[in-house]
């Protein structure tokens, strides 16, 4: 009988993501040490809220 434990086929890694994320930490889109600025985030949120309100005026 063959001893299949000697084949060195290896086992798949456990607890790892199936693919790399486009914005993973340390990548070009999200380098280490860069923090999102809260002011910029609030500006984007307010702009999106304005767009949402303008679109809702035509409804109803």
- Taking 3-state DSSP, the helix, strand and coil percentages for the chain, each rounded to the nearest 5, stand at 40, 0, 60
Query: What's the pLDDT tens digit per position in 2-60?
Result: 777 777 767 777 888 788 888 788 888 878 877 778 888 899 999 999 887 777 665 55
Q: What is the pLDDT of residue 54?
A: 72
Contact 40, 46 (CB under 8 A): no
pLDDT at 37 (0 to 100): 83
pLDDT of residue 4: 73
- What was the pLDDT predicted at 59? 58
The alpha-helical segments, DSSP class H, found in 1-60 are 38-57
3-state class (DSSP) for residue 5? helix
Give the whole-angstrom CA distance, residue 25 versus residue 32: 6
The predicted model scores a pTM of 0.33
**Domain map (residue ranges) of the chain:** 22-60
- Structure confidence at residue 56 (pLDDT): 63
């Amino acid at each position: 009988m063959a001893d299949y434990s000697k084949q060195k086929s290896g086992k798949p890694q456990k607890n790892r993501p199936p693919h790399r994320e486009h914005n993973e930490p340390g990548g070009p889109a999200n380098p280490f040490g860069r923090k999102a600025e809260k002011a910029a985030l609030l500006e984007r949120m307010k702009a999106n809220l304005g767009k949402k309100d303008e679109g809702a005026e035509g409804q109803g």
